[in-house]
Amino acid sequence: MESFSVVHQSKRRLEGEAKVLGKTRYADDFRLHREVAALPLYPAHPRAVILGIDCKEAESEPGVLGIITAKDVPGSNSLFGRFPVLADGEVRYTGDAVAVLAAETEEIARRALGKIRVDYKILPGVYSLEDAQACEISPVHPDRPDNTMENTFYPQYAGDVEEGLKRADIVLESEYNTSFAVNGYLEPDCVVAGEDSITGGIVIYGCIQNVYSIRGSVCAALGWPANKVRVVQTAIGGSFGGKNETAMVLAARAAVLHRKIGRPVRMRMSRSDVFRAGVKRHPYRFRLTVGCSKDGRITAWKNQVDTIGGPYNNQAMFANWRLAVHSAGPYRTPNVRTEVQAYYSNTPYSGAYRGFSAPQNSFAVESCIDELADAARMDPAEFRRINFVRPGDVITSGQAVGPGEMVLPLEAMLDDVLERGQYVRKKAEFEDFNARKGRYRRGLGLAAGYRGCGLGGEGFDVAGARMILEKDGSILVHSDMVDMGQGLRTSHAQVAAEALGVGLERIRMAETDTSCVPDAGPTVASRGLSAGGMAILMASEDLKRQLLEGLENHWKIPGGTAVLNGEVFRSADGSLSMGFDEAVSLLTNSKGLGFSGRGWFNPGTVHIDPKTGQGNCYPAYLSALSLTELEVDTFTGSITVSKVTLAYELGRAVNPDIVRGQLIGGYVQGLGYALSEDLRTSEGLVKNTSFGSYLMPSVSDVPEFDLRIFEEDFSTGPYGAKGIGEVGVELAAPGVGNALFHAAGIRMRRLPFSKDLVATRMLLMEKEGADELL
Amino acid sequence: MTEKIPVRLKVNGRYYDAAISADASLSRVLRDELGLMGTKEGCGTGYCGSCTVLIDGSAMKSCLVPAVTVGDREVVTIEGMSSPEHPLHPVQQAFVDAGAIQCGYCTPGFVMSVYALLRMNPKPTDEEIKRGLSGNICRCTGYETILSAVRLASERLSSVRE
Amino acid sequence: MNYCKARSLSDFFQKASEAKGLIRPLAGGADIMYRLKKRYLLSDKLTLIDINGLDELKGIAERGNELEIGSAATLSALEEFLKDRDEYSLLRTALRETACPQIRSQGTLGGHVAGCLPNSHLFPVLMLHGAEAEILESAEEKSIPVEDLFRGPYHNRLKSGELVMSLTIPRKDFQWEYYWGEGSRKQFSLPPFVLAMAIDGEGNRFIAGGGPNVLPTHFRVLESAPSRFGGSRTTLLNLVKEEVSAQEKRKNRLTDYQKTLLFRFTCEMAEMEARL
């Protein structure tokens, strides 16, 4: 392994002190001069025709400054994915806005909002996957009569699945369902639109995950070019994929309203509105027919996957592509037939939430693998071991496993996890314990997975960075990738310092601003470091080369011979040397030179056949493995996850503490998805609209973790980093489900695992005469 | 429009005269009237704990506290935890050192809760820490580092006392 | 919305008699703020009378075999009072499960019982103890069992201007007790069912429970000689079953989960009883 001086070390977060002092300014923590509050009028019905809107009474309220409806949108009222800025003619879900009203204070705005009269003709809505597929209700969009979303059908075909099923000794059919889930970032969405005091254009401030796409949307809504709109990201209080479409429509509404009334407009969402209007994780349904031989070798994997995505589609095309590629797991499965399809619905929209489609897919695949192991009467660990792909194999999309991007050391990781988790001993102990048929049962559950890094076939995985050297030796770095709390700025700064050969304290990471770095796409798909860090690395090398050239000219030594290490420049023979500050001062003050570095990373395109889902789909893959230990109270269905042993292969941990924080934090989100986060909708309405009914894990729900990171010297990202923002969330649900089966003999095929179902099923299973009371 | 009630608030040792409507929460008054933006509002209905402040030494969720009721009481917010002589309170230092910060939105509320917990119980067991922090939600960290931060702060504060 | 401060109890009743519309005493304010924010309570015709200055409502004292707790005492003050005691352990457990530390520091016992939360952690325990609420209206004082405060979920029977003065909780020496009240998350989550059960020194068996759809109810209080019921599991189960059907006749349908919990814990109780 190479030796490093700044990366591969747990440096403290650059912004940690500001955050712990409460000094960090999030989107709602500053005020613009003469700003006003704006609130949207959400529809009273999830699906209805708007017959008329009467704003007169509301407009005449003292303190009301203006109201906009669809007719006020000067540019396009249809943003990316068909999201309207304001509902035009028809409302299609509870988060559409019929009007937006601005007033001197939020209190006045709220009062006045109630005075806007809207006439609706209520329409029957498409409220479930079954509704969408049945086509008995008028389609969500007339141009999609079967409700299918455009560009969301993705297959993966390999071998001949019917032949594979024929050859199987054991065939299993199983259906798994997942629910809507919310990102649950603690900072509610907030955007401010004001005048750019220099250009007269617009500047948007907000907690926005993808500043460039939001700039594009604001431009589209106003009919303006990009040079008149600037988007500045404030500190973000969590996003996990969520501050995208909602932020997009907020920004467009605020911009249109700002242009109409001439004062800065703040749009701040309440928590309940975030629940009603904000993004949800896709609720996929998996129908699996799988087969294996008597000795446990998988012969066929047939997987029909469907989901609803709400009335607009920003993300299903990407989520479904990712799902199709990973739909058979990291196993040697010669015959695969997966088809993934998304449908329009009049429900909240589905979009990006950490993991994208992977947490759902991992739940289905890894539960099914355990069911197959059970059917084959094999230990789930051994079943996985004989089926894992290994060097020389191809994964189900045809990419070859080998050193570099496709290391997949799953077998080694399995051995490690079984050993650290004391699998054999505990399994025997737990089974003895459970044989006593007491109130509590204990179980162990495995889950494994792999994850394509970056966008892969979802889009160009490009990234940009720029850096400026100040005369005092400070270095200002601009990246197009945003820090939402994951620690990206710190990791980026470490990469910059390492690549330049200087200390971390010289680096200052700038705020994200569309006017500083070209648009290189969104900070998604765990690519902030893997792609964004490459751009930083390239910019650092660019800057360093300029500095070395300057000094080589000064020393009159041949080009390409000087080096910079540990803040000291040296000639090749070591006879000449100069400290960093001195050299920078010499080159800038005495010679009048200026230095800035530029990096643009473009890994090229991936190759995939859209008709079969075969090809090199992602530039690199991570591997993940977990062993979950839990105790279930069979009386109450209460599940206590006590310990989780984790292993991840992730290339290189640029900052091990930050990596651990991402993996553990992700896992705990996954535990919420498995156990307590149950977003319910009824007829298109969200039933739980607060953190009091949508229960995210609190500190007492957290188990003990034993995490080991596997590193590899060779990979595509900066210093070998692969990108770990999402993978942590994937294994929790299947791990808990499998452990629950081991503990109590109940297979739960729907998320989340509700206590009441566990308790009532246990009672029916075990107690004779339970109907005495039931 | 509801009538405004004159209230003299004492926040971080300083007095402020404010005119407050009876239904105004302390968090809104701290943020909108006094400009103390360190106190966050994640839900506004008492579930997330981001708005936790100290009132007469006890941690409370300022989004549920009617500001009119704190007139003769002592309020401390995250801005009052440090001073020029002590740029970081030991609890804050422990959060930084343990890496217990990600997006940071819940952090001020956690710091206030931990302060109140350790004031009542300087050497809490893990179980007591968990009970003490059950009113604060963090979506980023998975709590592992927050627990380490509390243990660290407890150790450091008790070694100072001893 | 109107707001005023009560300088004394008589001042409270004076102001209450003068105010128009809805009157609410304001102590900690957590419940009122929550309801205002959720628009369960509308500010338009509301008068809040601040009782924070009334120290006579804040006391906690043990008098003989009873706890007497002023309605403006906070939940955490009661928690602190009971901290190092062996008695009232069910109450301690239920207090610890109620909301979270911040809300317990702010919220008062009076506010909690007047809030009539159907799945409150405290009510079933208060019922096992036979707790009573002292209610004052001007000069008239009355005492009612706490469960009688319920008119429905989140609705109490108090008339506008009536004030809960204090709660009296008789001490009980249980030889066996059990408490269940977990939501979908381990802490700070409202449970689908709260159950408190106990067997006292004379062998009387108590079961009380409540949930979002079932107001806190005595599923069984057997004050008479236990021998009459023989202590057999079937008998006990039948008694609980009777109460369940009585509830259902009142349109309080228990969920399968609630019935499962009742069944499981009643069996446990019978088993414990056999051993005692």
Q: Are A674 and A732 in contact (CB under 8 A)?
A: yes
d(CA A443, CA A429): 10
Q: Which long-range contacts (CB under 8 A, 24 or more apart) does A386-394 make?
A: A386/A295, A386/A296, A386/A297, A387/A296, A387/A297, A387/A298, A387/A331, A387/A332, A387/A333, A388/A330, A388/A331, A388/A332, A388/A414, A388/A448, A389/A330, A389/A331, A389/A332, A393/A332
Query: For residue C205, what pLDDT is reported?
Result: 87
Q: Read off the tokens for A148.
A: 């299918």
A134-150 burial string, b = 16+ CB within 10 Å, else e?
A: eeebebbbeeeeebbbe
Supply the pLDDT for residue C226. Answer: 45
- Confidence at C222, pLDDT banded by 50, 70, 90: low
pLDDT (0 to 100) of residue C229: 47
Per-residue pLDDT, averaged over A565-587, amounts to: 96
Interchain contact, C29 vs B116, CB within 8 Å: no
- pLDDT of A741 reads 98
Using the beta-carbon criterion (under 8 Å), do C259 and A697 form an inter-chain contact?
A: no
Assess B82–C contact: CB distance below 8 Å, yes or no. Answer: no
Residue C223 has pLDDT above 60, yes or no: no
Reduced to 3 states (helix: H, G, I; strand: E, B; else coil), residue A370 is helix
Q: Is pLDDT above 50 for C225?
A: no
The nearest CA of chain C is from the CA of B65 a distance in Å of 6
Residue A449 and residue A463: Cα distance in Å, rounded?
27
Residues whose CB is less than 8 angstroms from the CB of residue B119 and which lie 6 or more positions away in sequence, other chains included: B57
Cβ within 8 Å of B, C 23-42: 26, 28-30, 32-34, 36-38
- For chain C, the chains sharing at least 3 beta-carbon pairs closer than 8 angstroms are A, B
Asked whether the CA dihedral A453, A454, A460, A461 is positive or negative, the reply is negative
B162 vs A460, more confident: A460
Chain B residues 82-141 with a CB less than 8 Å from chain A: 82, 88, 92, 95-97, 99, 101-108, 111, 129-131, 133-134, 136-141
Residue B100, CA distances (Å) to B125, B146, C150 in order: 19, 5, 44
Per-residue pLDDT for B100 more than 60?
A: yes
Q: Are A345 and A132 in contact (CB under 8 A)?
A: yes
Q: Do C264 and A636 touch (CB under 8 A)?
A: yes
Please judge whether C3 and B46 are an interchain contact, meaning their C-beta atoms are less than 8 angstroms apart: no
Q: Is the pLDDT at C271 greater than 70, yes or no?
A: yes
pLDDT of residue A770: 57
Give pLDDT, residue A773: 60
Any residues with CB less than 8 A from the CB of C270 and at least 6 apart, and which?
C231, C232, C233, C236, C237
Q: Looking at CA atoms only, how far is residue B62 from chain A in angstroms?
A: 15
DSSP H helices, A556-632, are 580-585
Distance between CA atoms of A774 and C263, rounded to whole angstroms? 8
Asked whether residue A583 carries a pLDDT value surpassing 70, the answer given is: yes
Q: Which amino acid is at A592?
A: G
Q: Do C186 and A772 touch (CB under 8 A)?
A: no
Residues A676, C189: C-beta atoms closer than 8 Å: yes
Band (pLDDT 50/70/90 cuts) for residue A640 is very high
Mean pLDDT score, A203-211? 96
Which residues have C-beta within 8 Å of that of residue C82, sequence separation ≥ 6?
C88, C91, C92, C95
Whole-number mean pLDDT of chain A? 95
C134-141 average pLDDT score? 88
For residue A692, give the nearest of B45, B97, B136 by CB distance: B45
pLDDT band at A1 (very low <50, low <70, confident <90, very high): low
Quick: pLDDT tens for B61-84.
Answer: 999 999 999 998 999 999 999 999
Q: What is the pLDDT at residue B2?
A: 65
For the purposes of burial, counting CB atoms within 10 Å of the CB of C139, is it exposed (0-12), middle (13-18) or buried (19 or more)? exposed
pLDDT exceeds 50 at position C228: no
pLDDT (0 to 100) of residue C224: 47
How many interchain CB pairs under 8 A, B with C? 90
C36, C52, C101 ranked by CB distance to B135: nearest: C101
The Cα–Cα gap between A515 and A226 comes to 10
User: What pTM was computed for the model?
Assistant: 0.97
Least confident stretch, A268-282, A340-354, A599-613? A599-613
Query: pLDDT value at position A571?
Result: 96
CA of C242 vs chain A CAs: smallest distance (Å): 10
Place of tokens 């299918």: A148
C171 Ramachandran zone, left/alpha/beta (phi>0; psi -120 to 50): beta
> Which chain C residues have a beta carbon less than 8 Å from that of A752?
184
Is the ipTM of this structure higher than 0.90? yes
C2, β-bridge pairs: C47
Flag whether pLDDT at A713 surpasses 90: no
Task: Give the count of beta carbons closer than 10 Å to the beta carbon of residue A295.
Answer: 9
Query: CA triplet A493, A498, A500: central angle to 5 degrees?
Result: 95
Any bridge partners for residue C166, and if so which?
A: C70, C134
Q: What is the tens place of the pLDDT at every residue in A440-451?
A: 999 999 999 999
Rounded distance between C-alpha atoms, residue A489 and residue A654, angstroms: 12
Whether residue A49 has pLDDT greater than 70: yes
Mean pLDDT in chain C? 91
CB-based contact, B7 to chain C, within 8 Å: no
CA triple C157-C159-C164, angle to 5 deg: 75
pLDDT for A772: 59
Given this model, what pLDDT does residue C221 score? 72
C-alpha separations of A168 from A364, A377, A380, A382, C36 in Å: 20, 15, 18, 18, 63
Residue A139 pLDDT > 50: yes
Check CB contact under 8 Å for B42 and A669. no
Residues of chain B with Cβ-Cβ distance to C99 below 8 Å are 135
Compute CA C86 distance to the chain's CA centroid, rounded to the nearest angstrom.
21
pLDDT of amino acid A372: 98
In angstroms, what separates the C-alpha of A10 from chain B's closest C-alpha? 9
Residue of chain B minimizing CA distance to C38:
B45
Q: What is the predicted pLDDT for the residue at C227? A: 43
- In the prediction, which pLDDT does A562 show? 97
CB < 8 Å to B141, chain A? 661, 664-665, 668
Query: CB of B58 within 8 Å of any CB in chain A?
Result: no
Which position has the higher pLDDT, A527 or A190? Answer: A190
Interval A429-468: pLDDT, tens = 999 999 999 999 999 999 999 999 988 877 788 999 999 9
Amino acid at B96: V
Other C-beta atoms lying within 10 Å of the C-beta of residue A228: 15
A589: amino acid identity, one letter: N
Alpha helices in A229-297, H assignment, sequence order: 245-261, 271-277
Is C50 within 8 Å of B69 when comparing Cβ atoms?
A: yes
pLDDT of residue C101: 98
The pLDDT tens digits for B28-59 are 999 999 999 999 999 999 999 999 999 999 99
Packed helices C256-275 and A755-766: angle between N→C axes, nearest 10 degrees: 60
Chain A interface includes B42 (CB < 8 A): yes
CA A163 to each of CA A166, A298, A368, A387: distance values in angstroms, whole numbers, following the listed order: 5, 13, 20, 19
Q: Are the Cβ atoms of A698 and C186 closer than 8 angstroms? A: yes
The pair of structure tokens assigned to C97 is 């499960």
Whose tokens are 């001195």? That residue is A582
Least confident window among A53-67, A73-87, A553-567, A609-623: A609-623
Instruction: Identify the closest residue of chain A to C240 by CA–CA distance.
Output: A773
pLDDT at C231 over 60: no
- What pLDDT digit, counting tens, does each position of A12-36 carry? 999 999 999 999 999 999 999 999 9
How close does chain B come to A60, measured CA to CA in Å?
Answer: 16
Instruction: Assess whether pLDDT exceeds 90 at residue A404.
Output: no
- Confidence (pLDDT) at C45: 87
pLDDT above 90 (res C110): yes
